[in-house]
Amino acid sequence: MFGQRCPVIGPCPARDLILFDCPPAIGYQSMNAVFAADMLYIPSGPGYWEYDSTTSFIGQLAEALADLSHGFADFPAGKISLPKAFADIRLLMTRYEPSNELHQAMFNAFRQVFGDRLAQHPIELTRAVEQSGRFLSSIYEIDYRQMTRGTWRRARASFDQAYEEFRTHALAAWDKLEDAA
């Protein structure tokens, strides 16, 4: 892939970008995706139950990965070194309303637990986000004429900022992986 353009990131390093959208459960699908991943980007909503579910998932994931690496300590792992390590792990808050005090409190709670692993640019909940789910279109595909210009601009700005932060971390993780290789 050297010299080619990656449609999501731009100039492609010697890595592929594969996005897994797995259910937040420790099952075969999630474990296969996690074990194949070099970087985890975990979305979570701003509610208490989502916070509890996300922290529980991460705790269970850590235990499962530790159990796997312990169980295969003497097993030839091929290209995978054990214990499993990631070039980067990030949490992204979604459906965030900046004027909602509960959402602000939950963002701060995530920040206290995950520190700089929490993406600084959450995805804001706007009418455009609600409409995109209803019409099964991304924010970039939705017709801006179906809402006010301000709503559309705010949604695009939120996604653009979150994407730029993701892109920055993904490229840094790729550089880290290339240096390790």
Q: What is the mean pLDDT of the chain?
A: 79
Return the domain boundaries, the chain: 5-180
Cα atoms found within 13 Å of the Cα of residue 71, Cβ hemisphere only: 6
pLDDT digits (tens, 9 = 90+) for 81-137: 667 778 889 999 988 999 999 999 999 999 999 999 999 999 988 777 766 667 677
* pLDDT for residue 112: 94
Could you name the CATH architecture of 5-180?
Answer: 3-Layer(aba) Sandwich (3.40)
How many CB atoms are closer than 10 A to CB 63?
A: 11
Residue with token string 């996690």:
34
Buried b / exposed e along 111-139 (16+ C-beta atoms within 10 A): eeebeebbbebbbbbbebbebbeeeeeeb
* pLDDT for residue 35: 79
Amino acid at 47: G
Whether the per-residue pLDDT at 12 is higher than 70: the answer is no
Contact partners, residue 29, CB within 8 Å, separation at least 6: 22, 23
CB 97 within 8 Å of CB 103: yes
CA–CA separation, 151 and 144 (whole Å): 9
Q: Where are the alpha helices (DSSP H) in the chain?
A: 28-36, 48-71, 101-114, 127-135, 149-180
pTM above the 0.95 mark? no
CA–CA separation, 12 and 155 (whole Å): 27
What is the SS3 assignment for 71? helix
